[in-house]
C-alpha cells in the first residue's frame, strides 16, 4: 500500500533536478501512506516525473522499490494497491518466459502489462489499484483505478502542467496549483456527505472513477485544462458493473438455499485466502456485525493460530458495538483487542479530520473508523474488513423500510400523503424518539434502531414524492436542494440523475443496491476507510468486494438477500454455520458516535464559531439562513439535524485548515504526513532515484 504522485511540466523549462524536487515536495505530503521508503522517476526530455511512497506489505526487500521500470525499459509505473493473485500470475508469466528479480506484485503487474497490455493485465488482476504508467515508446501517461474504487486517484491541471496524486495535498504541493473551490461540487457535499467522482472540491481537479483508465498523450496534457465532456475521448473502462449485473440476470441462481450457502462460502473463503497473503502482521476489524464477523470467522478457519481482531466501544449503549464483537471473538478464539473510547478521546480526533480526509468529507463514522484503525495499527500492518456486504446482499435498513413504506403508502392520493406527512412532522423528533423507545420491544426488529423518531420524520418527508426513485434520491440527501444554499452554484448531474445509464433491475430494492454500489460505496464507505486507515499507515482489504463474490451476488434472487423482513439473509445463514445465531442477532447499528449530543454539549462552542452568521456571510459560500435555522432547531431539541449540519461543519473546518493564515476558531489541526504525530517516525527514508537523461 502506498501513495503516488506525478507531474508533467507543460512549460518544458524544468530540468531533471527541478522535476525531481517538485515531485519530492508532493510525495512528502504522502508519507503517512508510505512511511517505509520513497522513490522518484524522472524522464527529463519528456518533462515527466513520477513519485512514490511505500508501505511495504509484499516483498520487503529493495526489489520492491518504486517507481519501477519494466524489464524492457519501456514502462515506468507508480503503483498504489495490492494484486492479491500475483502468485498465480507469476506462475503463468514464468511459463511464458518472464523472470523476476524479486517477488513484489508490482514487478508482476509490470510483466503482465508487457505481456498482455494494460487492459488485459488489469482484467486478469484481482486487487485494489491506483496506478500511473508512463510509456516511453508512445509517450503516453495512463492512470487507472480498481473495479470498485478502493484506492483514490486525483488528477487535473495546474497553471504549469498536468498533475495527479493519491490525495489532494500532493497535488497542492506541485507548482502553480490553483486552489479555486468548485462551488458545484460543494452542493454535492451538502447533499451526500461526500463529493462523488469525477468531481473534487477544486475546480479543474477530478477523481478517476472506479474501473476507469485515462490515457493522455503529451499533447493532451500540454493543452491545459480540458472540458470534462471532452475528456471522455481519453477515457476507457476495463470492467463493467452493468455487464456483471446483466450476466447475473442471464444466469440466475436456481439451486436451493443450502447450495447457495455452500457456494457463497467457497467464494468467500478464496477471497479471504487471497487477502491473507502478507509479509507483515495481519488482523481483522471486528464490529460484531454480520459482515465483519463472517470475514473474521473465515480468516480464523484458514489460520492455524488465533488471528488478531480489533474493535472500539463507547459507553453510550446506542453506539457501542464492542460488547457484541467481544462475544464473537471469544467464540471464534481470536486474539482480541478492544478499546473503550471516552467522548473526550473521540472528539480529540475532530480537529485532525480536515488533514486526514484532505477534501471535505462528512460521514461522522469517520471518527470511530480512524480510532479503530489507530488501535489496529499498534499490532498489525494489514487488516481485513467487512465492507461491501450491505450493498451486495441487501443490508441497509432503507432497503426494507423504504420499499415497505412506499408499497403501503405510496399509492395513497397525494393530498392524503401530504396530510399524513404534516401530522408526523408536527410532533418533534425528540418526542417521537421517547415514544418509540417506550414501545421498542413491541416494534419489528428492523425498527429497533437509535433515534427512530428522526428516521420516521425523514421517511415521512418522502411521501411528498410520486415515484419511488425520487424517494430514494431524497433518502440519499441530507439537504434536499443544496444548490439554493451555495451561492453561485448549480447541482451537477451525477449517476443518480443518469437513469438511461443505469444497469438493469428486476425490482426497486435491486435498483437501490445498484445505485448504492455505484455511488455511496466508493464515495463514502471506501473513502472513509481509505483515508482513516492510511492516516496511520494501515492497509485495509475487503474480501466481500472480490470480483467473484460481486458476480455471485448478482446471480442471487432477491429472496436470498432479504427474506421475511430480514436483511442479508444468505450471509446470515452462512455466518450461523460458524457463530451461534444469538451472538449476532440484533438490529443494524451502523458505526457512529453521538454527534447530536456533542453538538449540544462539548462541541457547541466549536460549531457556533464555524456557523457564525457573520463568518458565513464574509466567506461567501453559503446562504446563512437555512443553516442557522437548522442549528437553532437542533440546539432546541425539536429536530436532530446533526447529519446535515455536520456536512457544513466539515467544509467549514476544512476551509479553515486550508487557509491557515485565517483563524476563526480555537480548533487546531494536526498535519498528516509532514509530522510523526500519528504513526511515529518513518522507519526508512531511502529515496530510490531513476533519472532518464
**How far lies 86's CA from each of 83, 127, 209, in Å?**
5, 9, 24
Q: How many C-alpha atoms does 455 have within 13 Å on its Cβ side?
A: 14
Q: How far apart are CA 602 and CA 667, in angstroms?
A: 13
Q: Examine the residue annotation and report whether 14 is marked as an active-site residue of this protein.
A: no
Q: How far apart are CA 28 and CA 22, in angstroms?
A: 10
688, with CB counted inside 10 A (0-12, 13-18, 19+), is middle
What is residue 84's DSSP assignment? T
Distant-in-sequence, close-in-space partners of 32: CB < 8 Å, separation ≥ 6: 3, 534, 535, 536, 537, 672, 673, 678, 679
Residues found in the chain: 693
Residue 178 three-state SS = coil
496-502: long-range contacts, CB 8 A cutoff, minimum separation 24: 499/469
Place of cell 453561485: 488
User: Which residue in 631, 545, 571 sits closest to 211, CA to CA?
Assistant: 545
Other CB atoms closer than 10 Å to residue 428's CB: what's the count?
17
Q: How far apart are CA 77 and CA 587, in angstroms?
A: 46
β-bridge pairing 75-83 and 161-165: unpaired
Distant-in-sequence, close-in-space partners of 390: CB < 8 Å, separation ≥ 6: 291, 396, 516, 568
Sign of CA dihedral 43, 44, 49, 53: positive
Distant-in-sequence, close-in-space partners of 481: CB < 8 Å, separation ≥ 6: 491
User: Which residue in 352, 359, 353 sits closest to 185, CA to CA?
Assistant: 359
Q: How far apart are CA 335 and CA 329, in angstroms?
A: 8
Give CA angle at 395 (393, 398), nearest 5°: 125
Q: How far apart are CA 71 and CA 18, in angstroms?
A: 27
β-bridge pairing 140-145 and 154-158: unpaired
237, with CB counted inside 10 A (0-12, 13-18, 19+), is middle
Catalytically annotated residue among 2, 364, 542, 682: 2
Rg of the Cα atoms in the chain: 25
**Known catalytic residues?**
2
Amino acid at each position: 500500500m502506498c501513495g503516488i504522485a506525478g507531474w508533467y511540466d507543460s512549460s518544458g523549462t524544468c530540468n531533471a533536478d527541478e522535476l525531481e524536487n517538485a515531485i519530492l515536495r508532493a510525495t512528502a505530503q504522502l508519507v503517512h501512506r508510505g512511511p517505509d521508503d520513497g522513490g522518484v522517476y524522472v524522464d527529463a526530455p519528456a518533462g515527466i516525473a513520477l513519485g512514490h511512497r511505500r508501505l511495504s506489505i509484499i516483498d520487503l526487500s529493495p526489489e520492491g522499490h518504486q517507481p519501477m521500470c519494466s524489464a524492457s525499459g519501456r514502462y515506468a509505473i507508480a503503483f498504489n494497491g495490492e494484486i492479491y493473485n500475483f502468485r498465480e500470475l507469476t506462475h503463468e508469466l514464468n511459463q511464458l518466459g518472464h523472470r523476476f528479480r524479486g517477488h513484489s506484485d508490482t514487478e508482476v503487474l509490470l510483466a503482465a502489462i508487457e505481456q498482455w497490455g494494460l487492459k488485459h493485465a488489469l482484467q486478469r488482476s484481482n486487487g485494489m489499484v491506483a496506478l500511473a504508467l508512463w510509456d516511453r515508446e508512445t509517450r503516453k501517461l495512463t492512470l487507472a483505478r480498481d473495479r470498485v474504487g478502493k484506492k483514490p486517484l486525483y488528477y487535473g491541471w495546474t497553471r504549469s502542467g498536468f498533475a495527479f496524486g493519491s490525495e489532494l495535498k500532493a497535488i497542492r504541493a506541485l507548482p502553480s496549483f490553483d486552489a479555486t473551490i468548485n462551488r458545484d461540487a460543494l452542493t454535492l457535499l451538502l447533499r451526500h456527505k461526500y463529493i462523488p467522482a469525477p468531481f473534487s472540491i477544486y475546480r479543474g481537479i477530478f477523481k478517476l472513477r472506479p474501473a476507469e483508465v485515462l490515457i493522455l498523450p503529451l499533447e493532451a496534457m500540454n493543452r491545459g485544462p480540458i472540458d470534462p465532456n471532452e475528456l471522455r475521448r481519453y477515457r476507457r473502462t476495463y470492467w463493467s458493473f452493468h455487464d456483471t449485473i446483466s450476466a447475473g440476470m442471464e444466469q440466475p441462481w436456481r439451486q436451493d438455499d443450502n447450495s447457495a450457502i455452500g457456494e457463497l462460502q467457497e467464494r468467500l473463503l478464496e477471497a479471504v485466502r487471497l487477502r491473507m497473503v502478507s509479509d507483515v502482521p495481519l488482523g481483522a476489524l471486528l464490529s460484531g456485525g454480520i459482515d465483519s464477523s463472517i470475514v473474521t470467522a473465515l480468516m480464523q478457519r484458514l489460520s492455524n493460530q488465533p488471528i488478531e481482531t480489533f474493535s472500539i466501544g463507547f459507553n453510550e449503549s446506542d453506539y457501542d458495538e464492542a460488547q457484541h464483537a467481544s462475544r464473537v471473538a471469544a467464540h471464534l478464539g481470536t486474539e482480541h483487542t478492544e478499546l473503550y473510547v471516552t467522548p473526550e478521546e473521540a472528539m480529540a480526533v475532530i480537529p485532525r479530520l480536515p488533514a486526514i480526509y484532505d477534501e471535505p468529507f462528512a460521514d461522522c463514522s469517520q471518527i470511530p473508523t480512524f480510532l479503530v484503525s489507530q488501535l489496529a495499527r499498534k499490532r498489525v500492518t494489514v487488516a481485513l474488513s467487512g465492507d461491501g456486504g450491505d450493498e451486495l446482499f441487501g443490508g441497509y435498513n432503507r432497503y426494507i423500510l423504504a420499499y415497505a413504506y412506499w408499497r403501503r403508502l405510496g399509492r395513497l392520493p397525494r393530498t392524503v400523503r401530504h396530510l399524513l406527512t404534516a401530522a408526523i412532522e408536527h410532533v418533534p423528533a425528540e418526542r417521537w424518539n421517547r415514544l418509540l423507545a417506550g414501545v421498542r420491544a413491541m416494534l419489528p426488529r428492523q425498527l429497533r434502531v437509535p433515534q427512530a423518531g428522526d428516521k420516521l420524520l425523514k421517511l415521512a418527508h418522502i411521501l411528498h414524492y410520486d415515484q419511488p426513485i425520487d424517494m430514494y434520491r431524497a433518502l440519499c440527501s441530507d439537504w434536499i436542494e443544496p444548490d439554493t444554499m451555495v451561492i453561485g452554484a448549480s447541482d451537477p448531474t451525477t449517476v443518480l440523475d443518469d437513469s438511461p445509464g443505469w444497469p438493469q433491475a428486476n425490482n426497486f430494492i435491486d435498483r437501490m443496491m445498484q445505485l448504492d454500489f455505484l455511488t455511496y460505496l466508493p464515495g463514502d464507505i471506501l473513502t472513509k476507510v481509505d483515508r482513516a486507515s492510511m492516516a496511520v499507515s494501515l492497509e485495509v482489504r475487503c474480501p466481500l468486494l472480490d470480483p467473484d463474490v460481486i458476480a455471485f451476488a448478482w446471480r442471487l434472487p432477491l429472496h436470498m438477500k432479504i427474506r421475511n423482513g430480514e436483511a442479508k439473509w444468505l450471509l446470515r445463514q452462512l455466518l450461523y454455520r460458524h457463530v451461534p445465531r444469538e451472538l449476532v442477532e440484533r438490529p443494524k447499528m451502523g458505526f457512529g458516535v453521538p454527534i447530536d449530543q456533542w453538538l449540544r454539549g462539548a462541541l457547541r462552542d466549536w460549531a457556533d464559531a464555524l456557523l457564525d452568521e457573520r463568518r458565513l456571510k464574509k466567506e461567501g459560500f453559503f446562504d446563512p439562513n437555512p443553516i442557522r435555522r437548522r442549528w437553532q432547531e437542533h440546539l432546541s431539541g425539536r429536530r436532530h439535524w446533526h447529519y446535515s449540519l455536520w456536512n457544513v461543519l466539515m467544509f467549514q473546518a476544512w476551509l479553515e485548515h486550508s487557509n491557515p493564515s485565517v483563524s476563526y476558531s480555537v480548533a487546531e489541526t494536526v498535519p498528516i504526513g509532514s509530522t510523526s504525530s500519528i504513526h511515529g517516525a518513518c522507519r526508512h527514508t531511502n529515496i530510490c532515484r531513476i533519472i532518464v537523461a
